[in-house]
Chains A and B, each alone.
Chain A
Amino acid sequence: MSENTKTSTEIAAKSAESAASGITSGAAAPTAADKEALLAELLASINQHKFAPDVAHIEIHGNQVLNKNLVEGLIVESESIDNGVKVRIRVLKDVTLKNPVNFCFGLIPDNGVQRIITDTVIEEGAHAKFIANCTFPNAVNVQHLMNATIEIGKGASLSYFERHTHGPEGGVTIVPVTHVRVREDGRFSTEFELIKGAAGVIELDYAAEVEANATVDMMTRVFGRSADRIHIKEAAHLAGPGSTGVLTSHIALKNTASATIENELVADAPYARGHVDCKEIVQDGARARAIPIVQVNNHLAHVTHEAAIGSVDSKQLETLLSRGLTEDEATDMIIQGLLS
């Protein structure tokens, strides 16, 4: 078992080297068996081993698409580029995907660069859920760079959940930059979760343009440890009448981790409604900064914000202490709840 693992890790390292040097095909390309082993390791790192035949999924390691299974109404085209992959995703008009589409992006070796460029279009009246697992279980010096544009058509919806699984070393730099346009009556919700493993360096930048009666809901949940550096920037422009936006950030920090959260919500149209919610629990020598910006340019719009930074709430803590939990157990439970 360990031999197999070692072998697939070596294959992965070679694959990553070739990706880093811009070689996308040729003699170094792994065989089908190699790909199989790599795929197994990639999925094992996210505790996922098998998908049902009617579940769409795509697995990308470095700059290679290892596996792909599509369903009717979903089009995914991929192209290997230097250090990464370009992916075009389209959910056809009026199609509702029964099961979530599962993406797995990752790098098994301890160093390398993975650049993912995605262009997603959810056509008018279509509905889909995407689950993206980004896994870097052995990362010491890994960069995961993502540039995404998402277009949600009229009356369409997309729920996008991105979970990161990192190793304990914290050698990952994550830079996801996403621009979203939500057309009339559309809905877009996104969740970014990094709870297991060291966060490393995160530079998250999400921006959304929201048209009439459309909704955007962005949520970020990150647990920063040791020397992690986290910078979250979420912005939504409520441009259409009746549009709504909620920007939520829940961050827990311990050791010497630091975080800056910038949430910006601008309401330009009448009856636009928005809320910014930022909660950060800080322990040990960690540092946190929250910069909520709310701007209203129309007297019929309404935007609110709340931010709370500090230690664990004393009432919550004492409630759990009075049930016999130790302070550490109670704190962990509260943090797990906040980040769940």
Chain B
Amino acid sequence: MLLCRSVQDIKRWKKRKGARQKLLPLARRLATCAYAVPGPPVDYFFAKRYFLVRNPYAFNMNFRKPAREPGARRIAMNLLEIRNLSLIKGNRPILNNLSMDIWAGHVHAIIGPNGAGKSTLANTIMGLSGYREFEGDILLEGESIAPLSVDDRSRRDITLLFQEPARFEGLGVREFILAGAKEKSRALAEEALIKVGLAPEKYLKRAVDKTLSGGERKRIELASIWAMKPRLVLMDEPDSGVDIDSVKYIFAIIKELRKAGSTVILITHSPEVLRHADHAFLICAGTLVDKGEMSRMFDYFNGKCVPCAHVGIPAADAPVLAERI
């Protein structure tokens, strides 16, 4: 398996790491003062002080200082913190000492090859059955959510768009869309369907069952998430099974969620989806390999590749994991 980033590039970045480390605390402190307002994808101070240091070629980017809107809430830097997360399933390590900071109000992407543990990470954050036994911790606004059930987590405004949406025999599209919504009105269900490019008059009375295609169910599930308006959305391959013409609706929803102050984690293989992220994590065999702004991480899709020992565990960590097993 090859990960698209040149070895030389990585070495170059490592040299700069020292300089970045010195500025990082300052940048973070400044970025913490940013307000959740609609505007550019990165916070103004953070971008200016931190991003430019990391990417000197971004000088020509036009950063606009966001005006503070009346009543705009002050947001914490990290909405979600993943600390040393390791998960073993069926004697096979899936996640290996993974640590990530998910910034509030940002769109993060998690990229990596098949079987890297991306979906497992999403399922673990959501707390699905079979993903509750792990080492490490998951903190939501500094508070551990590890002991919480799925519904308790979703009541803390976390939700998941499943890679393969479930089929519900007989359950109406309207009921499904409004299941998690605070307002249970027909108008909201109609608006949600329009947002995902489905005609309400055609779909509202149908059931979320096998009469709908996988792509249609995916868009209806996305509509239900839009209606729910959560703080943190995990989207597991939001574009899979969706036709090319309809992908634009998914991107529009991502934009709208961000605009509304939601934090989005995209799990994807698609460069098109990555384009809509501010920041990305690259994982391989359950290990965090790299992270950075979307523009830099995009190189992994541009044919600059490094080998990834994708045989279940990275070679370097194999002895450590072997000991643990």
A residues contacting B by CB (< 8 A) are: 250, 279, 313-316, 318-327, 330, 333-334, 336-340
Contacts and interface: CB of A to CB of B under 8 A. Distances in A.
A23 B158 CA distance: 67
Q: Report which residue of A323, A326, A334 has the largest number of chain B beta carbons within 10 angstroms of its beta carbon.
A: A323
Contacts of A336: 170-171
Given A323-B179, A324-B180, A337 B151 contact: no
B179 A325 contact: yes
Contacts of A322: 126, 150-151, 153-154, 158-160, 180
Contacts of B126: 322
**Dominant SS among interface residues on chain A:** helix
A323 B180 contact: yes
Contact of A338 (B159, B169, B224): B169
Nearest to B228: A323
Contacts, number: 71
Contacts of B179: 320, 323-325, 333
Given A314-B129, A327-B151, A340-B207, 15 more contacts: A316-B168, A318-B128, A318-B129, A319-B221, A321-B149, A322-B126, A322-B153, A322-B159, A324-B155, A324-B228, A333-B171, A334-B168, A337-B168, A337-B175, A337-B207
Contacts of A314: 129
Given A319-B165, A323-B180, A324-B228, A340 B151 contact: no
Interface residues of B, number: 28
Given A318-B150, A323-B159, A337 B170 contact: yes
Nearest to B182: A324
B171 A323 contact: no
Q: Identify the 10 closest CB pairs spanning chains A and B, nearest first.
A: A323-B180, A337-B171, A337-B170, A321-B150, A340-B170, A315-B166, A324-B154, A321-B151, A323-B179, A316-B166
Interface of B: 126, 128-129, 149-151, 153-155, 158-160, 162, 165-172, 175, 179-180, 207, 221, 224, 228
A313 B169 CA distance: 11
Contacts of A321: 149-151, 154
Contacts of A250: 169-170
Given A319-B162, A319-B165, A323-B179, A334 B171 contact: yes
A95 B207 CA distance: 33
A236 to B, nearest CB: 21
A27 B283 CA distance: 88
A337 B128 contact: no
A340 B171 contact: yes
A191 to B, nearest CB: 12
A317 to B, nearest CB: 9
A325 B170 contact: no
Contacts of A330: 151
B140 to A, nearest CB: 15
A315 B171 CA distance: 14
B4 to A, nearest CB: 32
A337 B150 CA distance: 21
Nearest to A339: B170
A323 B224 contact: yes
A322 B221 CA distance: 11
A239 B168 CA distance: 34
A316 B176 CA distance: 11
**A322, A330, A339 pick with most chain B CB within 10 angstroms:** A322
B169 A279 contact: yes
Contact of B151 (A316, A326, A333, A334): A326
Nearest to B150: A321
A32 to B, nearest CB: 42
B151 to A, nearest CB: 4
Given A313-B166, A314-B129, A315-B166, A324 B171 contact: no
